[in-house]
A and B are shown apart, each in its own frame.
Chain A
């Protein structure tokens, strides 16, 4: 159905408005209508007896200001213009199609006149329904219909949970239905307290008796949403506490370790006098363990940063070959101590856009692991070079290997293999998760191939910057 005004109707409406703008009161307007001063269409409405009713309904029975009167009559003009089309349709049908105003017009035409009743007072309205009568608040589009709560079409105001003010319901329009107003809302509070988290509002074109099933469903939804929001709030709070905690831990653990290591270094450098061999040996044990503790703190903080998504890489041109060579040299004393042969085969590769310290950590973790899990007499081979669009670092050992059913879980935080636990190899299961996090942070990947009793190969692949790829 199309309720657009024809040119003629538009003209009549304009004429009616012009005419009405001269009147101070509704009565004056009515007299003018009675006196035939207005276009032919208007007396029809007056005879139907509803303009006055509408006006007084809309204004709580009081007289309207000239402006308000004009606005109401303008609305009437629009409604009236539709009457020829609507006269034969029952009001309920029209309301089913969302046309409160059109239904009012139908009523005016005599089809549903008995349906005009005052809106319920606010106190009588089901708390879930925030519909309120429009009187005195804003012009009415149409009177309220149906005392049994079947349908209401009044423009009304609802509390806006966002700013506590009231907002006109008819601001909402149905884009699927000619952009017509959606004057009815169901508001479901979410959360406890006077405002809680706010409320769900459902907007529709007509009012229906509240279905208990729907009501229950809405209540469940609101409870669910409140739960989710409450959890989010708690999570955000936890996240904040966690970050503060790690910042504190970072500071509180590193500061004493700085002193421990710093003063040990002073003693070992014999700044305070000669150090006997045995003393040196014992002090070296202290220093090694202090550094181990420091490393552990660093690893835990690193994992926490990855978790919190606050890990940041300080990227600049990195020469991977020298990173690998340095890591191999740093690990050499440990390998020798363990009786493991450490071999490096590296080749120059293009500069990477990466974090040198973090990449060194990757290589170091892999070599450290390989040495730890390789029995004396075994060998650890470190290779690095270029493969298509990426560079790789590969650490191969002739160690104990990793059971097939454990390989999938290797990169999980705090995962330790049975072999590691049984042989009480030092570690808390963070090294490989850190390797993977750093590789991923560089857009790369890490993979593992292993056979029990034969050995293991870890391969890290990192992308080469695109301008380097094309330079080959």
Chain B
């Protein structure tokens, strides 16, 4: 396994939260690629082949579920694990995320420890590709 930093794609249309999540992940030692909406997230995923994608559910245009589905449908991005960020609380939203192919979800607001441990847990399951 290589020691090269893992790349995480973060997508959120809320600039403040995008920066907050990016900052936390960078501090945790990851390389972060950001996207401000679903379309950008798809493009960035294809271009950068991140080790993980953290996607906000409620984004204009393509929402997090749709981005997840499209990532899964494309062989080039199908293996990228996805954590959905949701401000909604209904269990239905969570199961919808899993149906779309997400690996985990994180409720807003989340503690920095929560974010770190979820990301670590998923990346630990996956050998580094770099």
Contacts and interface: CB of A to CB of B under 8 A. Distances in A.
Interface in A250-302: 250-251, 254-255, 257-259, 261-263, 265-266, 269, 271, 294, 298, 301
B108 A247 contact: no
Interface residues of B, number: 18
Interface stretch (B16-24, B42-50, B67-75, B119-127): B16-24
A305 interface: yes
Interface in B57-90: 58, 87-90
A247 B20 CA distance: 23
Interface residues of A, number: 22
Nearest to A269: B112
Interface string B100-127: 0000000011111000000000000000
A265 B24 CA distance: 11
Interface in A199-220: none
A7 to B, nearest CB: 67
Contacts of B99: none
A192 interface: no
Interface string B1-39: 000000000000010110010010001000000000000
A269 B28 CA distance: 14
Given A251-B58, A294-B109, A258 B88 contact: no
A265 B112 contact: yes
Contact of A261 (B27, B87, B91, B109): B109
Contact of B91 (A269, A271, A314): A314
Contacts of B88: 247, 250-251
Contacts, number: 51
A259 B17 contact: yes
Contacts of A163: none
Contacts of B111: 265
A257 B16 CA distance: 11
B129 interface: no
Contact of B108 (A254, A263, A265, A269): A254
Given A257-B109, A262-B109, A305 B90 contact: yes
A262 B16 CA distance: 10
Contacts of B27: 271
A281 to B, nearest CB: 21
A337 interface: no
Contacts of B17: 255, 258-259, 262
Contacts of A261: 109
A2 interface: no
Nearest to B20: A262
A6 interface: no
A426 interface: no
A259 B89 contact: no
Nearest to B115: A262
A267 to B, nearest CB: 12
A301 B91 CA distance: 13
A405 to B, nearest CB: 36
A395 to B, nearest CB: 26
A31 B31 CA distance: 104
A290 to B, nearest CB: 9
A310 B91 CA distance: 9
A269 B14 CA distance: 23
Nearest to B23: A266
A298 B89 contact: yes
A255 B87 contact: yes
A424 interface: no
A247 B63 CA distance: 15
A379 B17 CA distance: 42
A255 B14 contact: yes
B112 A250 contact: no
Nearest to B91: A312
Contacts of A255: 14, 17, 87, 108
Interface centre among A259, A266, A310 (most CB of B within 10 A): A259
Nearest to B16: A259
A250 B89 contact: yes
A22 to B, nearest CB: 69
Contacts of A250: 87-89
B79 to A, nearest CB: 28
Contacts of A310: 90, 92
B114 to A, nearest CB: 11
A438 to B, nearest CB: 14
A68 to B, nearest CB: 59
Interface of A: 247, 250-251, 254-255, 257-259, 261-263, 265-266, 269, 271, 294, 298, 301, 305, 310, 312, 314
Which 6 residue pairs across A and B have the least CB separation, nearest first? A258-B109, A254-B87, A312-B91, A259-B16, A258-B108, A262-B20
16 contacts: A250-B88, A251-B58, A254-B109, A255-B14, A257-B109, A258-B110, A259-B16, A261-B109, A262-B17, A262-B109, A263-B16, A266-B20, A269-B112, A271-B23, A312-B90, A312-B91
Given A259-B16, A294-B109, 8 more contacts: A250-B88, A250-B89, A258-B17, A259-B14, A262-B17, A269-B112, A301-B89, A310-B90
